[in-house]
Amino acid sequence: MFDYRTDKFTLNPNYRLQYEEAQQCYVLLYPEGLVKLSDTAVEILRRCAQPISGDELIAQLQHDYPGAESLADDVKEFLVDAQSQDWIVAAGE
């Protein structure tokens, strides 16, 4: 486990974020299947292509979406879930 707020993390290299024409949405592909993603999840995971910390990620999103008041709490919740699902891993793993 890593501290997603301060430690750098990245998208798990065993997963691939891509637009799936058949699904008409972005998905997260992995050896056992795929996960359909919401637009919000895609926006977050795209930023995880390069090592980033949760604090940096939230700052970027708040800059791009200044009117989103509960953004920080929602992103934190998503990152906790993404870490538990192994979608994100500590940078360098």
Check which CATH number belongs to the domain holding 47 and give it. Answer: 1.10.10.1150
Could you tell me the residue range of the domain that residue 78 belongs to?
A: 9-90
Top pLDDT among 60 and 23 is at 60
Count of the separate structural domains present in the chain? 1
Give the pLDDT confidence of 11-21 residue by residue, as tens digits: 999 999 999 99
Q: Would residue 2 count as lying in a domain?
A: no
Average pLDDT, the chain: 92
In a domain, 1, yes or no: no
Specify the amino acid at residue 93: E
Give yes or no for residue 48 having a pLDDT over 70.
yes
Is residue 49 situated within a structural domain?
A: yes
What would the mean pLDDT of 66-93 be, rounded to a whole number?
90
Q: What is the pLDDT of residue 6?
A: 87
Query: Does residue 13 form part of some domain?
Result: yes
Could you give the CA distance from residue 50 to residue 32 in angstroms, rounded to a whole number?
24
Banded model confidence at residue 93, pLDDT cuts 50, 70, 90? low
CA distance 90 to 82: 12
Amino acid in position 25: C
Domain membership flag for residue 4: no
- The yes-or-no verdict on residue 26 having pLDDT over 80 is yes
Nearest Cα neighbor of 5 from 54, 57, 73 is: 54
